[in-house]
Amino acid sequence: MLFSIVTVTRNNKEGLLKTWHTLEPQACKSFEWIVIDGNSDDGTKDWLEQSAAQWISEPDNGIYDAMNKGIARAKGFFTLFLNAGDSFACEHTLEDIAAYIQELQETPDFIYGDALEERPGAKPAYKPARPYEKKAYGMFTHHQAMLYRTDLIDDLRYDQNYKIAADYKFTLQFLERAQTIVYCPFPLCLFESGGISQQQATQGRSEQCRIRDELGTVSRPHNHFIVLRQKTVWTIRKILPRFYWFIKQRNKPI
C-alpha cells in the first residue's frame, strides 16, 4: 500500500463527507483512509460505520493528539494528513504523485507540492510552495501537501505543548531525518481556509518562534526578524488580499 491518508475530525460531518468525496474518485486506489474522530455527536459515527474507512471515535486532547493516533495506525509507505473539509486538488492527485515517484532514481523520504486555497467569493488561489530550504520562515507549503515516509516517522510525534504550530515542529524534526526530499511541481491539495492556524495567526507565529528557539533552527535575532516578516505578510494579506495573491502566484508553474 502506497499511501495512508489520516483525517482528523470532530463534529464536522459535512467536512468529513467533503473529504470522502475527494478520496472516492481517486484513480490510484493504493491507499487506506484512517479517520480519527473526537467522539462526535453529529452523526459522524453513524456514517463511519457504513464507510470504507478505518476509524476510531473517542475523546482526545485535541487535533495533534488525534493525529498522533493516526500515525500509530498508518501502514502505507507514505503518510498524508488530510483533515475533514480538505480535499485533493483533483481526482488523479494520488496517481500523479505515484507516477512522479516512479520517474525518480530513488524513493524519496519526503514529498511536498503546491496547493490550492479556497477563498470566499472567488475561485481557489494557486499557492506555490517555497523551497523546503526556507523552512526557517515557516511552513513552506500547506501541511496537507506534504507526504512523510511512514517508517521514517518511527517514534516522532506531534508535540501537544504547541496548540497551533506542532505540525511545523514535526516537519522540522522529520526533515532532519530525511535524506531524499522531492518537490512535486503541481498542486496536491485544496485547502479549506479559515482553520485554526488562520483564526489564531498571532499565536501560531509565537509558537513557531518558540519552536525555532527550541530546535536551534536560527539565531535569536534572525528568529525575531522572521516573526516581524511573517506579521508584515499577514497584515498585507488581510488589508490587500489581491496584492497578496498577485505576489504569491508570480511563481506559479506555467
Q: What is the 3-state secondary structure (H, E, C) of the chain?
A: CCEEEEEEECCCHHHHHHHHHHHCCCCCCCEEEEEEECCCCCCHHHHHHCCCCEEEECCCCCHHHHHHHHHHHCCCCEEEECCCCCEECCCCHHHHHHHHHHCCCCCCCEEEEEEEEEECCEEEEEECCCCHHHHHHCCCCCHHHEEEEHHHHCCCCCCCCCCCCHHHHHHHHHHHHCCCEEEEEEEEEEECCCCHHHHCHHHHHHHHHHHHHHHCCCCHHHHHHHHHHHHHHHHHHHHCHHHHHHHHHHHCCC
Q: Is residue 143 part of a domain?
A: yes
13 within some domain? yes
Question: Would you say residue 141 lies in a domain?
Answer: yes
Q: Average pLDDT, stretch 233-244?
A: 76
pLDDT for residue 69: 98
Give pLDDT, residue 245.
66
Q: What's the pLDDT at 192?
A: 76
Domain-embedded: residue 163: yes
* Domain count within the chain: 1
User: Does 214 reside within a domain?
Assistant: no
Give the pLDDT confidence score for residue 140 in this predicted structure.
96
| Residue range 169-202, pLDDT digits in tens | 999 999 999 999 999 999 999 987 655 556 678 8
| pLDDT tens column, 121-159 | 778 889 999 999 999 999 999 999 999 999 999 999 999
pTM here?
Answer: 0.91
- pLDDT tens per residue, range 54-102: 999 999 999 999 999 999 999 999 999 999 999 999 999 999 999 999 9
- Computed over every residue of the chain, the mean pLDDT equals 92
Checking if the pLDDT of 3 tops 80, the result is yes
Is 245 part of a structural domain of the chain?
Answer: no
Whether residue 231 is contained in a domain is answered as no
Within a domain: residue 149?
A: yes
- The residue range of the domain holding 190 is 3-194
Query: CATH number for the domain including 133?
Result: 3.90.550.10
